[in-house]
A and B are shown apart, each in its own frame.
Chain A
Amino acid sequence: MMALDRKLLRDLWRTRAQVASIAMVLAGGVLSVVSIRGTASSLIRARDDYYAVDHFAQVFATLTRAPDELRQRLAALPGVAQVMTRVVKDVRLDIPGLDRPGTGRLISLPTAHDGSERIDRVRVLRGRMLAPDADDEILINGRFAEVNGLAPGDTLTAIINERRSVLHIVGIGAAPDFLYEYPGGGPAVDERAFGILWAPSTLVTYATGMRGAFNDVAIELTRGAREGAVISAVDSLLVRYGGRGAIGRADQISNRVVSNELSQLSVMGWAFPSFFVGVAAFLTGTVLSRLIATEREQVAVLKAFGYTDGAVARHYLAYAALAILLGIVIGFGLGSVLGRLITGLYRTFLRIPGLHFRIDWPAMLLALVVLSVTSLSGAVRSVLGAAHLPPADALRPPSPTRYRMLMLDRLGIGAVLPASARMVVRGIERRPSRALLGAAGIAAALAMMAGALSLFDASTRMIDVQFRIGHRETLAVQLVSPVPVAMATRFRSLPGVTRVELVRTLPVRLHHAGRARTLALTGLERGGVLQRLVDVRGATRQIPLDGITMSASLAQALEARPGDTVQVELLEQLETRPVVVAAGLDEMTSPNAYMELGALGRLTGEGPQASGAYLRLAGAATPALLAGLRAMPRVVSVASRRAMLENFDRMMARSFRINTTVVVIFATVIAIGVVYNGARIALSERGRELASLRVLGFTTREVGTLLLGEQGVIAALALPLGWLLGWLFAVYLITSFESENYQVPLVTRAGTYVFASVVVVIAASLAGALMYRRAAHLDLVAVLKARE
């Protein structure tokens, strides 16, 4: 080993604390790319693979009833490759251990064997497939099985045709159209009370009385087919059979939830690592450059001995490269572990078969190039500067750094400050760019936390507005089919019910200005308090007695303004009627349209009807009440708002904990890295100055204050900058999550910003404390002899 190599290793060991802090920050950058970017791309890839392998359909349609023969005509439509038809029906379940009635979505397994049975294929994850001739066997979805402790071999009781039927669970299934098992209508799934039941078609046709007919269609398109054209063709074919309007993948409910989640993760997957890599690159660049700048004398000695500029440059570049390499290796190792953990957590929420953690190599490569180039370029600048210096110049003691009377002095404030404060202020004023970069680094750490955590504030706000202000019922009851309002008043006589409000939803297609949108039209009671119209700011609105009220984004899409007349195509009645737009409503989620219950009855010509009811109870649901509900055969589901909210809060809290932990760790690493290195450099540049003061009788504390004063001022400057950057980051994240159907409110909560600031201040203090200990052990005797 050459002497120079030995020096390299010893230098690395001697400066190990600093090498470690460079490596740590760099490792953070690499770690974020490996873990977050990797999780995002793994999930997206797993979903895409799963959709491809199990033939997730591209066009979906539901209808009232159509004969099986229609399948051939659907298959013959241009652009259609395969058509799968089936029968889907929600039935009431008695779930062991659950007091309220549950809902089972009974889905018939296709009987055709022409390749179409592969569409939205049901995979058996555990247990076995249904026996060909069995008519009481079912597969259930995994989450429903888990939360209710159900397994193959267990039974479930369903109310089918007003009779109790015992169903035998033979396996746990999964299908791409129910990747997220969400029935719609609430903030989260009432997991215990909603299950997917895949059943033989004999059973389902018996339950629905649909022998030789279907009410659900899934279509696979030919390559290059236009989705819109197929949807129109399917609609015109199904219109006679009560078609509810075909939709593409984008509107399929499970896919919409999954896509939303993944696109948010994807945004985070880019925003976070970019942020982190940027800070890491800047930090390692400057730290390496300053570290090498302090080696001036050694460079001179090496050159005096006859080492070439090139050899000297190589020596220091190798030092930088090894520090960088160390960071990359650590980041890679930890990132893989963290990535597996985060992916594992997503698996509990999105059960994508075949999901496993993979590193996003293109992103990784990009990050490595950015990190290496920026870090090394900082080192190169210093190395070249030092190598070009004539040895004699480098050996001479550097002349006192030039200081001037600065702004502070000119303003006359200088005179009132103690000398130590003047040292701090002049130090900052002399190198404003260094101070600014330091402040920017700390601010970035703060901003990252504040921005990311603001998303949780936004989600919480959304749920508050929709399900705590908009909805205030205890139970939401859904009926098999609409009944006249007079019949629905039976709910009032149930024990414990203090208020009943009726609701009617029906599938419609709204037409205006040559545009159309398919959605559920909701009929509400005027003066209702259990379900209210609420805008994005949380303000409630009274439903007008006449006309239709719709989401602002829907009105915009239809180019409809209040006073305009839109055509309402009633999909169940095959009729189209005009209605005047009463108002637009700026909502968080859309598209929605609302009418007063009576006005809706006039529009349909059926008179006021209810398809469901919101109940407010005096206390918790009593067994007597639930028994009463169970005794009503038309009741298909009873959802507890509190159960859904609790489930949502639980999911949110878990996600919040994970994300908070991750951002806090990242931000702490950045803040410690910035402050520790800033103080370390200051100590190496001014160690002699500080040791002289110790000799002159300054205490360790006084010298420590001088050393850390500058970092303290920089950190103080960083706070407001961080708040601003954090707010901008939150705005960016929220804007990138917005879509036509989804409006995220920007919530700026003081608590979030205070929390982020406290984390940063603690991290900075920790780094300061580490440096303080070093400052306490300055070599005083050395000051009297050697110069630096």
Chain B
Amino acid sequence: MATAIAAQRVTPSVAGTRGATRERVFVARGLTKIYHTGDMAVEALRSLDLDLFRGELLVLLGASGSGKSTLLNILGGLDTATGGTVLFEEHDLTSMTEKELTRYRREHVGFVFQFYNLIPSLTARENVALVTDIADDPMDPDTALSLVGLADRVDSFPSQLSGGEQQRVAIARAVAKRPDVLLCDEPTGALDVETGRLVLGAISDVNRETGSATVLITHNAAIAGMADRVLRMTSGRISEEYRNARRISPEELVW
């Protein structure tokens, strides 16, 4: 399996050269999010500014409760901000209706969940097809699965796949529609180190291959090395931001 991924990696990327075009995918300004739970108001995001560029791989670090998931949910059109604006290619997400948000997710966003969330009654290929069936210019499901090194498991059901394999199917499903943004929430959270590396390798590869702007949430600082840029969040604000001089291959990550 590792060889399959390595084989993928030698293919030179086209669009994925680190922020080469510097084209902004997201522009967030003064983003705030307040949750009301009973009499308590929790400020999950406090006037946050963020730009995300095409082809960029951004790692978002932070402890639980730091607001990173809230930010991801807003970028993914799953949640709406209390204040501020988020522009996705000139479209303001904050003013979209539920229907428009669904369309936005359908056409532009790829999600990878911590717990894979595959449909157990569908095979790997069918899980990917589920998304390509409703996308405009999708990849062939088999191509997407080869991209994550699962060309030989296309007819397996989720129950016949290991955790890492399931997560890679999830990645294939997320990227098959050629999304503009790929959002990954703790994609290795449920995996052991070795499998985690394989999965991160797959994410890194598809980022290079497809040029999707990729946001990866983790509380594991060791993963930051594979990013173009790293943001650390604390109490709803960006507390630290830095650029890696070079992206470390996930295989070399140690944690």
Contact = CB atoms under 8 A, between A and B. Distances in A.
A binds B: yes
A426 B76 contact: no
Contact of B158 (A400, A693, A698, A787): A400
A780 B120 CA distance: 19
Contact of B130 (A397, A400, A419, A780): A419
Contacts of B72: 784
Interface stretch (B83-91, B98-106, B196-204, B230-238): B98-106
B105 A697 contact: yes
A697 B102 contact: yes
A692 B117 contact: yes
Nearest to B102: A699
Contact of B134 (A692, A697, A787): A697
A684 to B, nearest CB: 15
B78 A430 contact: no
A697 B73 contact: no
Contacts of A419: 122, 126-127, 129-130, 133
By size class, the interface of chain B is 35 or more
A694 interface: yes
B217 to A, nearest CB: 9
B120 A689 contact: yes
A661 B73 CA distance: 51
Given A419-B122, A689-B117, A689-B119, A694 B102 contact: yes
B121 A784 contact: no
A781 interface: yes
Contact of B157 (A403, A696, A700): A403
Given A397-B115, A403-B159, A423 B105 contact: no
B69 A785 contact: yes
Nearest to A699: B102
A118 to B, nearest CB: 77
Given A419-B129, A697-B103, A427 B121 contact: yes
A784 B73 contact: yes
Contact of B106 (A697, A780, A785, A787): A697
Contacts of B127: 419
Contacts of A700: 102
A422 interface: yes
Interface residues of A, number: 34
Given A694-B102, A696-B111, A784-B114, A401 B159 contact: yes
Given A694-B102, A784-B185, A403 B113 contact: no
A619 interface: no
Interface string A308-352: 000000000000000000000000000000000000000000000
B173 interface: yes
| A interface SS class | helix
A422 B122 CA distance: 7
Which of B79, B120, B166 counts the most chain A CB atoms within 10 A? Answer: B120
Nearest to B108: A697
Given A693-B130, A697-B102, A422 B73 contact: no
B131 interface: yes
Contact of B113 (A405, A427, A784): A784
Contact of B117 (A401, A418, A783): A783
Which of B119, B121, B129, B173 counts the most chain A CB atoms within 10 A? Answer: B121
Which of A399, A404, A422, A697 counts the most chain B CB atoms within 10 A? Answer: A697
Interface in A675-700: 688-689, 692-700
Interface string B138-164: 000000000000000001011100000
B43 interface: no
Interface in B164-189: 166, 173-174, 185
A414 to B, nearest CB: 9
Which of B106, B115, B155 counts the most chain A CB atoms within 10 A? Answer: B115
B126 A422 contact: yes
B118 interface: yes
A697 B78 contact: no
A594 to B, nearest CB: 69
B122 A698 contact: no
B121 A430 contact: yes
B187 to A, nearest CB: 11
A428 to B, nearest CB: 10
Contacts of B158: 400, 403
A430 B121 CA distance: 9
A400 B118 contact: yes
A780 B155 CA distance: 28
B49 interface: no
Contacts of B99: 699
Contacts of B133: 418-419
A402 interface: yes
A173 B105 CA distance: 81
A699 B157 CA distance: 25
Given A399-B159, A427-B121, 17 more contacts: A400-B158, A400-B159, A400-B166, A401-B120, A401-B159, A419-B122, A423-B122, A692-B117, A696-B131, A697-B103, A697-B106, A698-B134, A780-B78, A783-B113, A784-B72, A784-B78, A784-B113
16 contacts: A403-B120, A403-B122, A403-B157, A403-B159, A422-B126, A423-B121, A695-B105, A696-B106, A697-B103, A697-B105, A697-B131, A702-B134, A781-B79, A784-B69, A784-B73, A784-B111
Interface of B: 69, 72-73, 76, 78-79, 99, 102-103, 105-107, 109, 111, 113-115, 117-122, 126-127, 129-131, 133-134, 155, 157-159, 166, 173-174, 185
